[in-house]
Every structure is written in C-alpha cells, then in structure tokens.
C-alpha cells in the first residue's frame, strides 16, 4: 500500500465555540484528484490551510509527505504547491521579475512549462502584477504553484476568477499533471462542472463534516434521490445523506428495488449539492 | 529541468522595497533622510532628529515587510523566501546605520551615538512586535515616532552612558525574541491589516473615535473628507486638544518653542497621512462623479480644491489662535511672527495637496512629500522665530496666495 501524500486523521477545529471541522478523515494518494465541494463557510479553506500547517487543529493529526503538517522539512516543502483563495505576495513586481525570483527557490523548476503556460494564458512578462486582473493573478499563482511539478498540490478555489476557456484548460492541465507526475491534488471549488470534469474523487463537506468521500463514478452510480409517501420507509441499508418529509438522498445504492419508494432518481453533482443543502 | 541558480541578495529588492507602496513610503523617507544626515552635520538639533527619523523609518519599512510576510499564505512553503527578503532589510539597516555613523563622525559629537543606538532600540522593538502582531503596526509606529520626536525636542543631548545600555538592550532583544514570539507566522487578519494600512495611511485613531463630534467638520470639508475618511476630523480635533494642552502647560513652564515645533510636526504628519489616504482612494472618484451635486468631473475636482482651501484656512486659524495664546505667556513673539507662522503652515498644506494633485507615481509622490515635509517644517519654524517684520509677512501672504492658486490650477491633473 502506498503512503498517502496527505493524510487527515480525526481532524477537528473550533473557532469561537463554532465547530468548523468535525472529525475529518481523508487521504490524498498519488494520482488522486480530489474535488472538495461545500458551501461558503463549510470549512474547506480551513481544511486546506491546516494541511500546510497554517492552522493547527484542536484534535487529530495531519501528515504531509510522511511529516507532521506543522513540522515540514525544507525538502517536503519543495514538493508542495499551494494556491490560496486570494492571490497575494508579489505586489510591486513585474511578472518576469516575480517568476525569476520565485523560480530561484525551486531546483526542479520546469522552464518549458512556465513558458508554455505564460503563452497559453497570454500573460505578458513585462506586465506589472498590480495591473493584472484577478483572473490573471490567479493564473500566475497557478503557474508559480505548478511549474516545479509538485507531488502534492493544494488549491483553494483555484479557477474561480478565470474565464471558462482558461478554466477548462487549467483543469485539463491539472489532470495531466496528476497523471504524468503521479501527483496528488486536493482542490476546492464551487463549480461542480469543473469538479466533474477533472476530479477522480469527490469530498463533500457540510458544516465541517465530511458527508461523502468516494470516486466520482461511484458517487454517480450509488447516490440516489428516493421519493416516498410513507415516512416509515426502510432505508437502513444505505447511508442517508439527507432526509426530508417525502424524499431522501441515499448513498450505497446498487440497483435493487426499495419497498415503498415512489421514485429512485439519479443526480448530477450539482443536483446532489443543491439537494444536500436544500 | 532547470538547475537553481545562486540568487544574488538584491534580487527583487527594487520591487519589494520601492514598488510596494506601503514599504516605499517608509523606505524612501529613510533613505533620503539618511543622506540628508550627511549634509546636516553642522546643525545639531536637526541631525539628532534626522538620525532618529531615518533609523526608525527604516525599521518601519522592515516591519511593513513583516506584515506582508504574515499576510502571504504561501511564504512558509517557499524555502528561503522569507530569509531572502529579511536579509535585504538587514542590509538596508546596516547601510542606514553606516551613513548615520559617518555623519556622527563628521559632526564630531559622541552624544549623537546615543541617539543612534536609541533609535535602533526603538526600531527593533517596532520590527519584532510587528513580526508577530500585524495589527499593532499603527499604534507601535506612531507611539515610537512620537516618543522619538519628544526625546529629540525635550532632551538637548542624550547622555553617553546610554550608548552601552541601548546596545545591551538591543542585543538582549535580538537574542531572546525567539523565546517569546512566533515570528512571520501566517495570520488570518494580516491581509486585512495590510490592506487597511494601505487605504487608511495607517491612521492610529480607531474609526469610531470622536466621530460624533467630527461629522460637521467632515461635512464642511467634503469631498476631501470623502477621500481621507473620518480620520480627517479626528486629526483636527486631536490637534486642537494637543494645542490646548500645550497652551495650558505653557502657562506654568515656558515651552512655547517646543509646542510650536510639535504642533508643526504633527500638522504636516497629518497632512501627509491625509494625502496618503486620498491617493490610495483615487479609484473612488467614479462614485463621487456620479453624485447629483456635481455637473461634471471637473466641478467635483474644483470642489475638492475648495475643500483643501477650507482646510488650509482652518489650519491657519488653529495655528494663529495657538501661537497667540502661547505668546500671552511669552511676549517676545510679535504679531508678525504669529501671522507669518500661520500663513506658512497654511501654505504648506496647500503645497502638499498640490503635489498630490500632480504626482501620479507613488514613488515620486513619496519623494516630493519628503522634500515638502522638510521645507514646510523649516519654513514654518523659521517664520515663528524670525518672521518679525512686515516684509516677511507680505512675502508669506504672497507665497500662500500663490500656493492656493497652484492648488486650484493643478486640480485639473487629478
């Protein structure tokens, strides 16, 4: 069994008595692209930041590349890429200067990849970072985080400000990166179509709890919306993700008939997200 | 794949220190003042103040970078990034100190070394506190600048025995800080502290402070108050309180010149801060133009110029009343001195805002603000001490009118 690149074990975190993360268990292994889906304030950013040691959990342990997240060695740090929700740090620089400085910290920087992405996303080396749009800054941040081909890539809503074409291209690059380099990627997003396009796994987080973690195909195949009239319907064979008066979202469905069910419907990821938060 | 090259220590220095507006405002001031120390070696009072100012400014620039570091989520992941930036800061501190030492040698006054060591002690406190607590930047910086200025104004020469005391304290802080601080660690509020600092000019006053009393002032000084924010009225009220305290103390101890110096210093510091806030909010013009009270963008600009004129008149009145009240206890100063001084302060305000109208580049603005700060301070204090005849009063009146005209004319370049 391969060692996970990132491993959350029983992670809990409270802010001002509010539980932001509640007993999270999650492993990111090489080749995995995990899309983290959740509403604003669900705890996604806290989960990602805690992997970098920026936030210390109240309970549990986070291991990154075999080391504790708050005691990462220099060699491990060089294998991690991170893009924050708000890109910040090279104000005052031109793109070329910022990249030149940033690349000097990484022995394995892929210059060809940098050049390719700069050209593809039409970033001009002489442009000042202060003059870039939010989307362009995010693109640059992604280049800076990916050009040294990190083993573990942690991205907090990385493409939220990108136009649909750039988003699609970057997502495809992400997937290629994971396949080529055996990297593991954990990224959060609100855009379910992006997640569906590239993620191998989905982690669905609601109010700090990891409701669902599985392969995308498994989720597609086994998550159903069951409509019923009688509230006494027996759903004990499944994991019930959400239950309301006349319907429930179940996980673990394998095609059998459910007694008293009026309808059993498949759900797209977006529908699932909406149903779970409805 | 590319192998990492040996990085020169200065790589990115221009962008880090001169193109980040927050850092540049302190760094440029520190650099200019450092070099001016070499010129001012013959003027003892001035060189003391300059050494203190240059050194504390340089540490403030590093403190700013420390805040930026805390606001940058990825910096802890990039091995060597923080060390690279901070090494540059340390080089600049050493450089600034070397220039100060050179000017002390030229001046031939060992007591100035006590000033320099004290400035370094204050500076390291600013830096180290801000490495861990970004929200303290404003209060720590202002308190330090205020104390440093008071020390320079009130104590003619610091005693030589302070030199070893300051050095020992400095070394102790440098060695022990790791035991009680978590430096440069990312904090969720640091980015907002950084951005608020850029927007507000690091106003040391809480936003709600005296807001009830200041609303009529803000209304009267609209649209200047729209750009500067509630700080404008707060500054003016605080300045009035400061003047009142100075006048009362002056009834018992003769501190007329000290009060005038501190008043002038605070006044131009406030003008610089207000201008800084205004520049940072240039993007808000669009909203102002859309207000139904203005027919065109130019009429909004003219209204801004008028509000600056009103501020200059307020400043002149405050300076006149304070200087007159001070002269009650010290009748050596004539009405000409008081009037010339008030006009010099007023003209200084107009000149500063005219510079703000013309300078689009933040580095150029910082440079000219430093120059005008020194010019205004020098002129105002000179007029209070020596402007005792009508010809100087006429010159000052003409100068003030010229500044008012320049301010009105340059508003079109906004």
| pLDDT tens digits, one per residue of B309-363 | 999 999 999 999 999 988 887 777 678 889 999 999 999 999 999 998 888 777 7
User: B2: pLDDT confidence band, cut at 50, 70 and 90?
Assistant: very low
Q: Say whether both B229 and B332 belong to one domain.
A: yes
Domain shared by B191 and B212, yes or no: no
* A71 in contact with B, Cβ within 8 Å: no
* Cβ <8 Å between A98 and B15: yes
Q: Are residues B207 and B195 in the same domain?
A: no
Same domain, B244 and B393: yes
A86 vs B contacts (CB less than 8 Å): 191
| A82 to B73: CB separation less than 8 angstroms, yes or no | yes
Is the same domain home to B119 and B231? no
Give mean pLDDT, residues B10-21: 88
**Which tokens belong to B344?**
């010099």
The answer to the question of residue B343 being in a domain is yes
Q: Is A53 on the interface with B (CB under 8 A)?
A: yes
Q: How close, in Å, is residue B18 to chain A by CA atoms? A: 8
From chain B, the residues in CB contact with A84 under 8 A are: 73-74
Q: Which residues of A touch B85 (CB under 8 A)?
A: none
Structural fold of domain A6-207:
Rossmann fold (3.40.50)
Instruction: Classify residue B4: in a domain, yes or no.
Output: no
Q: Do A90 and B15 touch (CB under 8 A)?
A: yes
Distance (Å) from the alpha carbon of A53 to chain B's nearest alpha carbon: 9
Best of A41, A45, A96, A104 to disrupt the B interface (most B CBs within 10 Å) is A104
Taking 80 as the threshold, does the pLDDT of residue B5 lie above it?
A: no
Sequence ranges of the domains in chain A:
6-207, 217-277
Q: Which of B135, B167, B199 is the last residue of a domain?
A: B199
Q: What average pLDDT is seen over chain B?
A: 85
Same domain, B186 and B241: no
B2 in any annotated domain: no
pLDDT band of B8, cuts 50, 70, 90:
very high
Whether residue B303 sits in one domain with residue B405: yes
- Set of chain A residues whose Cβ sits within 8 Å of the Cβ of B74: 82-84, 89, 145
Residues of chain B with Cβ-Cβ distance to A145 below 8 Å are 74
Q: Does the beta carbon of B13 lie under 8 angstroms from any beta carbon of chain A?
A: no
Within this chain, do residues B256 and B188 fall inside the same structural domain, yes or no? Answer: no
Nearest to A77 among B18, B20, B77 (CB): B77
Q: Is residue B6 part of a domain?
A: no
ipTM: 0.88
- How would residue B242 be classed by pLDDT, with cut points 50, 70 and 90? confident
pLDDT in tens, B71-128: 999 998 999 999 999 999 999 999 999 999 999 999 988 999 999 999 999 999 999 9
Contacts of B363 (CB under 8 A, 6+ apart): B18, B19, B24, B28
How far, in Å, CA of B351 to CA of B357, rounded? 10
Indicate whether B205 pLDDT > 70.
no
Q: Are residues B230 and B165 in the same domain?
A: no
Name the minimum distance, in Å, from the CA of B6 to any CA of chain A.
8
Between chains, do A105 and B18 touch, taking CB under 8 Å as contact?
A: no
Same domain, B284 and B184: no
pLDDT greater at residue B144 or residue A27: A27
Q: Give, rounded to a whole angstrom, the gap between the first and last alpha carbons of chain A.
A: 39
**Percent of chain B predicted with pLDDT > 90:** 34
Residue B247 and residue B280 share a domain: yes
Q: Indicate whether B56 belongs to any domain.
A: yes
pLDDT of residue B204: 52
* Residue B337 belongs to domain spanning: 203-413
Which of B177, B199, B221 finishes a domain? B199
Q: Residues of chain A whose pLDDT is less than 50?
A: none
**Partner-chain contact A110 B1, CB within 8 Å:** yes
Beta bridge partners of A266: A224
Together in a domain, B212 and B284 = yes
Which residues from B are below 8 Å from A56, CB to CB? none
Work out the percent of chain A whose per-residue pLDDT is above 70. 99
Structural domains in chain B (count): 2
pLDDT band at B199 (very low <50, low <70, confident <90, very high): low
B15 in contact with chain A, both atoms CB, cutoff 8 A: yes
| Cβ separation A97–B12 shorter than 8 A | yes
CB proximity B78 to A under 8 Å? yes
CB A142 within 8 A of CB A176: no
Beta carbons of B74 and A93 less than 8 Å apart: no
DSSP chain A: -PPPSEEEEEEEEEETTEEEEEEEEEEE-TT-EEEEE--TTSSHHHHHHHHTTSS--SEEEEEETTEEGGG--HHHHTTEEEE-SS--S-TT-BHHHHHHHHHTT-TT--HHHHHHHHHHTT--TTSBGGGS-HHHHHHHHHHHHHTT--SEEEEESTTTTS-HHHHHHHHHHHHHHHHHH--EEEEEES-HHHHHHH-SEEEEEETTEEEEEEEHHHHHHHEEEEEES-TT---TTSEEEEE-SSEEEEE---S---TTEEEEEE--HHHHHHHHH-
Q: Provide the number of CB pairs (under 8 Å) joining chain A to chain B.
A: 79
pLDDT number for residue B209:
59
Predicted local distance difference test score (pLDDT) of residue B66 = 93
Last residue of a domain, one of B153, B182, B199: B199
Nearest to A101 among B12, B74, B75 (CB): B12
Q: Which of A83, A90, A106 sits opposite B4 (nearest CB)?
A: A106
Nearest to A202 by CA among A168, A169, A241, A236: A241
* Per-residue pLDDT at A100: 93
């Amino acid at each position: 069994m391969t060692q996970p690149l990132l491993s959350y074990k029983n992670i809990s975190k409270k802010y001002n008595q509010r539980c932001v993360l509640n007993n999270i268990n999650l492993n990111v292994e090489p080749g995995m692209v995990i899309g983290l889906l959740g509403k604003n304030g669900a705890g996604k950013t806290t989960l990602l930041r805690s992997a970098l040691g920026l936030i210390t959990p109240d309970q549990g342990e986070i291991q990154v590349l075999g080391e504790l997240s708050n005691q990462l060695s220099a060699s491990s740090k060089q294998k991690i890429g991170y893009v924050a929700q708000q890109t910040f740090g090279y104000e005052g620089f031109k793109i070329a200067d910022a990249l030149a400085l940033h690349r000097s910290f990484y022995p394995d920087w892929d210059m060809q990849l940098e050049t390719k992405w700069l050209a593809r996303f039409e970033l001009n080396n002489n442009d000042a970072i202060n003059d870039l749009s939010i989307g362009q800054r995010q693109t640059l941040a992604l280049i800076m985080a990916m050009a040294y081909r990190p083993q573990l890539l942690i991205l907090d809503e990385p493409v939220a400000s990108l136009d649909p074409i750039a988003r699609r291209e970057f997502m495809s690059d992400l997937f290629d990166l994971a396949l080529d380099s055996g990297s593991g990627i954990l990224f959060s997003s609100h855009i379910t179509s992006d997640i569906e396009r590239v993620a191998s796994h989905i982690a669905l987080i609601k109010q700090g709890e990891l409701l669902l973690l599985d392969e995308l195909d498994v989720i597609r195949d086994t998550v159903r919306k069951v409509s019923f009239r009688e509230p006494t319907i027996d759903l004990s064979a499944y994991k019930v993700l959400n239950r309301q008066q006349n319907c429930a979202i179940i996980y673990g469905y394998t095609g059998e008939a459910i007694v008293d069910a009026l309808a059993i419907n498949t759900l797209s990821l977006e529908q699932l997200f909406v149903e779970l938060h409805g | 794949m590319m192998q990492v090259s040996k990085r020169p220590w200065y790589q990115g220095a221009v962008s880090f220190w001169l193109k980040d507006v927050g850092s540049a405002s302190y760094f440029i001031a520190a650099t200019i003042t450092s070099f001016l120390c070499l010129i001012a070696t013959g003027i003892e009072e001035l060189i003391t103040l300059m050494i203190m100012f240059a050194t504390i400014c340089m540490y403030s620039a590093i403190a700013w970078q420390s805040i930026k570091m805390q606001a940058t989520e990825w910096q802890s992941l990039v091995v060597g990034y923080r060390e690279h930036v901070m090494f540059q800061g340390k080089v600049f501190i050493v450089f600034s100190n070397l220039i100060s030492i050179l000017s002390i040698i030229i001046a031939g006054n060992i007591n100035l070394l006590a000033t320099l060591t004290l400035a370094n002690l204050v500076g390291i406190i600013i830096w180290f506190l801000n490495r861990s607590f970004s929200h303290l930047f404003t209060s720590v910086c202002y308190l330090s600048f205020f104390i440093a200025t008071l020390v320079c104004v009130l104590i003619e020469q610091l005693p030589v025995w302070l030199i070893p005391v300051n050095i020992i304290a400095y070394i102790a802080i440098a060695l022990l800080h790791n035991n009680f601080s978590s430096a440069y660690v990312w904090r969720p509020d640091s980015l907002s502290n950084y951005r608020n600092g850029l927007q507000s000019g690091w106003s040391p006053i809480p936003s709600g402070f005296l807001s009830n009393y200041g609303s009529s002032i803000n209304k009267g000084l609209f649209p200047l108050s729209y750009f500067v924010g509630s700080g404008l009225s707060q500054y003016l009220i605080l300045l009035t309180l400061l003047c009142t305290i100075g006048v009362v103390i002056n009834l018992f101890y003769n501190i007329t010149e000290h009060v005038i110096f501190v008043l002038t210093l605070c006044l131009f510091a406030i003008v610089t801060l207000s201008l800084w806030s205004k520049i940072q909010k240039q993007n808000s013009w669009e909203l102002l133009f859309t207000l139904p009270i203005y027919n065109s963008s130019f009429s909004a600009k003219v209204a801004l110029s008028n509000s600056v004129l009103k501020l200059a008149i307020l400043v002149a009145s405050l300076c006149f009343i304070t200087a007159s009240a001070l002269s009650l206890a010290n009748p050596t100063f004539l009405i000409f001195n008081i009037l010339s001084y008030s006009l010099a302060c007023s003209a200084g305000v107009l000149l500063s805002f005219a510079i703000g109208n013309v300078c689009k580049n933040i580095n150029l603005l910082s440079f000219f603000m430093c120059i005008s700060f020194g010019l205004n301070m020098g002129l105002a204090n000179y007029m209070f001490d020596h402007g005792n005849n009508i010809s100087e009063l006429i010159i000052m009146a003409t100068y003030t009118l010229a500044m008012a005209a320049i301010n009105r004319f340059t508003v079109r370049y906004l």
